[in-house]
Structure 1
Amino acid sequence: MRTAPRRRALAFAAALCTAAATAVLAVTVQAQPAVAAPAGPPARPAPPATPSPSLTDHPLTAAPSPLDNPLKGFARFYFPGDNQSTGHPRSLAWSYFGLSEVMTNAANCGSYDWSIVDSALNEIASYGNQAAIRFFMEYPGGTGSHPGNSIPHCFDGHVTYRNNTFWGTVSPDYDSPYLLSALSDFIAAFGARYDGDPRIGFINLGIVGLWGEWHTWPFDTDTADGYPNLMPTDAHGAQIIQAFDTAFNKTKLEIRYPDSAGGAANTRDIGYHDDSFCYREGSPLAGVTLPQSLGGASYSQLQRAVNMGVENKWITSSMGGEVRPEIQSSAFTSWPGGSGQVDNMKACIELEHTTWKINQTSQSYSPSDPNVAAAVRLMGYDLSATHAYFPNTVSGSSATVGVTLVNNGVAPFYYPWTVTLGLKNSAGTVVKTWDTPWDLRTVQPLKIRAFPDWGVGADPTYRDFGYPQYFQAGVSLTGVATGSYQLVLRVRNPLEAVSANAKKLRFGNATQNADGWLGLGAIGVGGGGGGDTTAPTVPTGLASPAKTSSSVSLTWNASTDAVGVTGYRVLRGGTQVGTSATTSYTDSGLSASTAYTYTVQAYDAAGNVSAASSPLTVTTSASGGGGGGGIGLDDFDGNPAYPSAAKNDLAKWTGGNCFGNGGGNGVVAGGALTLQYNNCGWFGSDVATDVSAYTYLVVRVRGASGGEQSHFNLSLGGASKVFGDYTLDGGGHPVITTSYQDIKIPMVANGISRTSPAQLAMGFWYGGNSSISIDSLSFSN
């Protein structure tokens, strides 16, 4: 008879019991260490190198990243024999183990039987997932088939046992020298066997206290309630923490509280495990994750971190935990702000920099739920490649390849997994690979949310942190046959050495393949110098038909070539700023009232490049202009910064949510706001200005694929329509293409109030899945 459902119920009931304990514990929490000052805004990492101007820029298109990327998102409980492929996509499984299940020899504490651990890890790995695990000695009621009292019998007669009459458990004397010595030996053996094991993603320190959660409530340091203290001293707790830190140098570790053992983990590479994540309790309701500055309780997880000055520990150490069981079924119903006992979920993820959470109810989530998808993509890392740099054709024996990666999540990727470049032939077969020294851990989140405690702006305030990270490597083409190839990139999951089903780390790009390889663009190899060696003719007629305060549009006459022109390089001040397959280009992200000098070069498929055109100097319009005596709502030039300043160029409110990039806000780069959406997304920007002097709302926009005009609506001044339904002069309707264009919407003809425009808002709940880039929003005649 199959018993897994009963075991599941037992484990989940135990989790609920854990939550109830934490709720009471939170109110009567043991004495806290002296409060330190918040760490404050972290210093930005050093900016990366820039691409060599000799390399051709291959822009890459963004797309939503997968929901089961490894080492992030939701983990469900592991039950032997259960199908781990059902429910919401995931890449993690959570499992407890009783210490007595490994320390099985009653006569010898130095004898270990790891079979129960290996059996679980192997089954989890067979589904392509990694495990997050914890050992315990006291578990009220037990967990499935694991015993509630898991104190090894080799402690008998050597360690004093005491009863926790509230929970009906037995607590060993955690200050016993015999116990501390035995635990140190166990942890050393644990690390020797499993440190760096590709089957394990995260290890919770566990062992101490109820459920291994480093508390014994109500038998804790608060002895005024009449209950004796069963916790170890801070010094002895610190010994256990040090033993873990010594034993594990590769696998990421986490501990329940920032102030456990007086904060002994805070100077070590050990993250935190918030197992009552984003819950609100008490009367009035107070959050147990968010800090007091955002309505949290004095004992909340992030208030503890702020008190200890370790709110930025996430930069190097992972943040795990569990979505509080009482709210798992409703945690994302009111995304992002939360409701009732569900706190502001987006703020919880952003401020904690959450990478993963136990969430048993996630098995019931729909994979198409946009709220859950937005939350999962925001958690941990969310990587995409924005540009690849390499020559279109290589005739020699080596080439230089560069890639720019961005992280739109809330945390870095924490492991040094190998990044590999490769070549695919026309049949899609990988015929050559090169391992690179590129370190994904350096790709930090582009934006981070500021704690109100930092005093750097109203909540939410977002600050620039990471950069688009540029990597470059030389590759040898020796032995590669002459021909046309696709340059590709992948990240190797070490679990692949154990399981053929190992989840692939995939990027948020349209050219990401299910096999793990990311397409970077076409490259020609070979020719030996015997092919086309003639450069195209020099482009002529370089002109600028339009400009704004932050952009310059360029056109030129076509070049000719003996075989055919492939494209054009656009140079500003002698430095390449982009390429174009046509005879036009718009340079964005410029400063107002500033002179820029441009030249253009043509290139062919063989890599031959023409001389530069005659230079053209263009001065951008004054700030706030629309290029023709208009008024700019926002040109996304970074001043003010979006969304950290929460202001547009009119000094009014602006912001967004539910987008797949920029932590839900979208990303400003190169003077344009890119909004990545999958049937979810909202952008708003207050106007609150009489625009009666102007005829048109001008939206300078392009799409990733073209045709995005049916994916969203635009509201302004009492009018609200799908963008493609607005009527243009002459009776036409907006059509978004892959090139920037000024779409001029006549306001009066479309029923837009110019005296009270209120707010320009865009909603993306129309079934679309793509991205648009908005260079500017303005009003003009």
Structure 2
Amino acid sequence: MQICRPLLHGFITAALLTVASASQAEAAKRPRVADYVPVPLHASIDRVQPMTGIVLWNDNTSGLAALGEDVQLEFAYFKYSDVVTDSGVYDWSRVDAALASSAGRGHQMILRFHDTYPGHTKVSIPAQVAGAPDHALSYHNIEGQRTFVPDWRSATLQAFILEFYSRFAQRYDRDSRLGFVQVGFGSYAEYHLWDGPLKLGTTFPSKAFQQQFLAHLGNTFVKTPWSLSIDAASATYTPFSAVSALRQLQFGLFDDSFMHETHSQSNQEYNRASWLFFGSTRYSHSPAGGEFNYYSDYDQKHVLAPNGPWGRSFESFAAQYHISYMIGNDQPGYQPRWRIREASMATGYRFRITALSSNGDCVRLTVRNEGVAPIYYDAWPAADGQRMSTSLKGLLPGAERTAEACIGPHARAALQVSIESDRLVPGQRIQFNASLP
């Protein structure tokens, strides 16, 4: 039997209408996903944030006691021989003790190991390295003082240095008590041998070994940011000018003569030029820090004065260089606690939650960094204790990042928001600002 075309069209149309009606009925049975509704949130940052601020030395117990939570980082120097005994055994007890004391105060540590310290004649490297057949004990006048200087011709010494940082990273790279590591050679491990007999490959590591060492660090530290002195910009001391690819390594910088009289008066000034040599955006992945200069007692006394020692405030320098931390061990003797807190809060990251909404099951929020630098460890927004999958690590100043998590049914009015990180020690908390009606 042949069905006429108009009748066939009618059958098809009716069938389609039946299917559509069934689909609509089925959809009506399914629960409707609620719209996101803004959630009020009010919070304020009223303390120095973890891993930022003015830093005191770990042995400055009186200053640390006086400042309390207004300090979040402590600093300590070590010799390599403080860890490796005469018999070559690694004994980390001194490092562990420093980390434990710092964490006990609710702080992280910045650590630096040195091979040469002007005026120190005690051998800074393990006895079995110093006494190796290819290593000659030597002492030189550095900054007018008799000083032990390692013999960098020694292959034994070079192998030890590489092994040391491998062992260090294996033990501490994921340790929440460790904030940052500073590394280097020469005087104070600040990548120079000022007023001393510079002979590459003898009193200072050869450029070839430095290149090997830097690449090794880049492969060794996975979680902990490591930094070099800005003096590493020197074409005389280091291989960075000749091997530009080394600047692609992700390391931070520290400036041990911060805010001296002519600091940053032009792009050609030594400190400023050294910062720029390594790139003006390095702070985006690695921390910028340093130490207030000791060029004069006047500088130390006035670095945190409203206009600084030479007409510019610390806050303006912190913003210019995206500073996360600055060693200022003498500042408790010059400045009141409130001023040190104020200056510290002008460094590092500063989060603001600019939007928060919920549909009763899922939560969505947006975070802006209103600080001068990113946070260099993972930090996750959390709702009612459940972390969102988006980390705030590397969120640049002025930038925003949105995160979302479905945490299950919850009351909007009772929603608890926080920022969590596995790199914190007990007593620390990442705060945020919020003013959401």
Normalising by the smaller structure, the TM-score range is 0.7 to 0.9
**Structure 1 residues 126-135 or 210-219, which shifts more?**
210-219
Contact 1:219–1:231 (Cα < 8 Å) also in 2: no
CA distance in 2: counterparts of 1:385 and 1:324, whole angstroms: 36
SS in 2 for 1:491: strand
Offset of residue 247 of structure 1: 1.8
> Which of the residues 338, 347, 351 maps onto 2:316?
347
Aligned to 1:272: 253
Give the 3 Å change call, closer, same or farther, for CA 334–191 of structure 1 in structure 2.
Answer: same
CA distance in 2: counterparts of 1:366 and 1:495, whole angstroms: 29
CA distance in 2: counterparts of 1:169 and 1:159, whole angstroms: 16
- Gaps (5+ residues) in structure 1? 1-51, 281-285, 423-432, 447-465, 511-519, 521-579, 581-781
CA distance in 1: counterparts of 2:62 and 2:122, whole angstroms: 22
CA distance in 1: counterparts of 2:227 and 2:34, whole angstroms: 44
SS in 1 for 2:343: helix
Aligned to 2:59: 79
Give the 3 Å change call, closer, same or farther, for CA 350–495 of structure 1 in structure 2.
Answer: closer
Q: TM-score, normalised by structure 1?
A: 0.46
Aligned to 2:408: 476
CA distance in 2: counterparts of 1:270 and 1:80, whole angstroms: 28
CA distance in 2: counterparts of 1:177 and 1:443, whole angstroms: 42
CA distance in 2: counterparts of 1:122 and 1:435, whole angstroms: 28
Aligned to 1:380: 348
CA distance in 1: counterparts of 2:63 and 2:292, whole angstroms: 22
Give the 3 Å change call, closer, same or farther, for CA 153–266 of structure 1 in structure 2.
Answer: same
Amino acid at match of 2:392: L
> Which of the residues 368, 371, 391 maps onto 1:406?
368
CA distance in 2: counterparts of 1:334 and 1:230, whole angstroms: 43
1:186 aligns with 2:155: no
CA distance in 1: counterparts of 2:301 and 2:368, whole angstroms: 32
The Cα offsets for residues 438-492 of structure 1, whole Å up to 9 and x where unpaired, read as 211242101xxxxxxxxxxxxxxxxxxx2x3222222223xx7xx6752112223
CA distance in 1: counterparts of 2:423 and 2:331, whole angstroms: 24
Contact 2:73–2:109 (Cα < 8 Å) also in 1: yes
Higher strand share: 1
Contact 1:76–1:359 (Cα < 8 Å) also in 2: yes
> Which of the residues 420, 423, 435 maps onto 2:382?
420
CA distance in 2: counterparts of 1:232 and 1:200, whole angstroms: 27
SS in 1 for 2:247: coil
Aligned to 1:233: 206
Aligned to 2:300: 328
Offset of residue 359 of structure 1: 0.7
CA distance in 1: counterparts of 2:347 and 2:393, whole angstroms: 15
Offset of residue 409 of structure 1: 1.1
Contact 1:379–1:409 (Cα < 8 Å) also in 2: yes
SS in 2 for 1:255: strand
1:507 aligns with 2:435: no
Give the 3 Å change call, closer, same or farther, for CA 366–493 of structure 1 in structure 2.
Answer: farther
Q: How does 1:497-646 map to 2 (within 5 A)?
A: 500=426, 502-509=427-434
SS in 2 for 1:132: strand
Aligned to 2:103: 125
Aligned to 2:22: none
Aligned to 1:368: 338
Q: TM-score, normalised by structure 2?
A: 0.81
Offset of residue 494 of structure 1: 2.9
CA distance in 1: counterparts of 2:362 and 2:64, whole angstroms: 42
Q: How does 1:53-72 map to 2 (within 5 A)?
A: 54-58=35-39, 60-61=41-42, 63=44, 65-72=45-52
- Gaps (5+ residues) in structure 2? 1-32
Aligned to 2:136: 160
Aligned to 1:439: 391
Higher helix share: 2
The Cα offsets for residues 217-256 of structure 1, whole Å up to 9 and x where unpaired, read as 12365x8xxx997222222112222222222110111111
CA distance in 1: counterparts of 2:191 and 2:91, whole angstroms: 25
Q: Give RMSD over aligned pairs.
A: 2.8
Contact 2:377–2:393 (Cα < 8 Å) also in 1: yes
Offset of residue 216 of structure 1: 1.2
Contact 2:383–2:416 (Cα < 8 Å) also in 1: yes
Give the 3 Å change call, closer, same or farther, for CA 291–179 of structure 1 in structure 2.
Answer: farther
Aligned to 1:458: none
Offset of residue 191 of structure 1: 0.8
> Which of the residues 243, 259, 270 maps onto 2:233?
259
Aligned to 2:358: 390
1:99 aligns with 2:77: no
Amino acid at match of 1:274: D
Equivalenced residues, count:
388
Amino acid at match of 1:505: I
> Which of the residues 160, 163, 180 maps onto 1:202?
180
CA distance in 2: counterparts of 1:495 and 1:411, whole angstroms: 17
